[in-house]
Amino acid sequence: MKKGLVVFSAGEVGGLRMAIASLALLPFAVRQVSRMEPGRWKYIAGSGMLGNFLPAFLFAYAETRLASGLAGVLNSLTALFTLLMGAIFFRQSITWMRMLGIVVGIAGTAVLIFSGNGSTDLDNKYYGIYIVLATVCYGASVNIIKHRLQGIKPLVISSLALLTVGPLALGYLFTTNVVGKLQHTPGAWEAFSYIAILAIVSTAIALVLFNKLIHISTTLFASSITYLIPIVALLWGVLDGERIQLWHYAGMLVILAGVFIVNRAK
């Protein structure tokens, strides 16, 4: 996302990501359209919108002002919101220990978003809220897949979910200047290649693998892969020259502590 934003706007990055990912799995989706039960389509569309379309744009907007390492850490809130969405909409139980974990995680998020000194980066802090909203969407999508799409193969869910949002992404892209930038802007094709990698590897392929994990485990365990995302994101961020402040480390540790409590609680 960060490399793609060098040339393209946040909306263009989100739109290209969804369009390319949808096209990558289109051959699989076409064969399954007629086989899908009519009553399941609303849940597939919901998964596509909440688990893919909205987060793709929210993350892209956040990345315009937020370090990618910090964005990765905030993404660990997915486990907390998976539990909350499950309790609110799918009657999943929440113990007091898990509630403690949620509170700790939210406190860590506040520290991470509002840490730092000086008014110059005040706007940057609030961009973390985009990531928080994306993790709320992820939490809802995980529960939809687990409780409403059980029994459907992960590749089928993934391809059809992307199929439902692909036309929206393409329609949006027609309102932008993506084609003009590819034709005339230096470095546009390089930026496009980074977005293509993001779409194919980190969206299409990763979505199939993640949906497989949801089917063979619990929603909470599946969403716990967000433990690893902060580590990977921070490493890539540091390699790319990003600087992490002491308060950021404190917020990261508090968030991960909250996620750990939620997953360990009975």
Q: Residue by residue, what is the 3-state secondary structure of the chain?
A: CCCHHHCCCHHHHHHHHHHHHHHHCHHHHHCCHHHCCHHHHHHHHHHHHHHHHHHHHHHHHHHCCCCHHHHHHHHHHHHHHHHHHHHHHCCCCCCHHHHHHHHHHHHHHHHHHHCCCCCCCHHHHHCHHHHHHHHHHHHHHHHHHHHHCCCCCHHHHHHHHHHHHHHHHHHHHCCCCHHHHHHHCCCHHHHHHHHHHHHHHHHHHHHHHHHHHHHHCCHHHHHHHHHHHHHHHHHHHHHCCCCCCHHHHHHHHHHHHHHHHHHHCC
Most confident of 16-20, 33-37, 127-131: 16-20
pLDDT of residue 229: 73
Q: What percent of the chain has pLDDT over 90?
A: 53
pTM given for the model: 0.84
Q: Which of 208, 213, 242 is nearest to 228 (CA)?
A: 213
Q: Residue 152 above 90 pLDDT? A: yes
The residue ranking higher by pLDDT, 150 or 119, is: 150
pLDDT of residue 227: 64
Top-ranked range on mean pLDDT: pick from 23-37, 57-71, 112-126? 23-37
The pLDDT value recorded for residue 100 is 85
Is the pLDDT assigned to residue 41 strictly greater than 50? yes
What ranges do the domains of the chain cover?
A: 4-264
The more confidently predicted of residues 248 and 60 is 60
Residues 6+ apart with CB under 8 A from 210: 222, 225
The answer to whether the beta carbons of residues 234 and 69 sit under 8 Å apart is yes
pLDDT bucket at 144, cuts 50 / 70 / 90: very high
- Residue 7 CA to residue 111 CA, distance in Å, equals 31
Going from the C-alpha of 106 to that of each of 92, 252, 260, the distances in angstroms are 20, 11, 13
Residue 75, pLDDT score? 84
The model's confidence at residue 113, banded by pLDDT at 50, 70 and 90, is low
Q: For residue range 220-262, what is the model confidence (pLDDT) as tens digits?
A: 677 767 666 766 776 777 787 777 777 777 877 887 787 778 7
Band (pLDDT 50/70/90 cuts) for residue 118 is: very low
The residue-averaged pLDDT of 193-213 equals: 95
pLDDT of 120: 41
Amino acid 140: pLDDT? 95
Q: How many CB atoms lie within 10 A of CB 180?
A: 10
Question: pLDDT at residue 59 above 80?
Answer: yes
Is 16's pLDDT higher than 50?
A: yes
Rounded average pLDDT over 195-220: 91
Q: Which of 26, 259, 66 is nearest to 161 (CA)?
A: 26
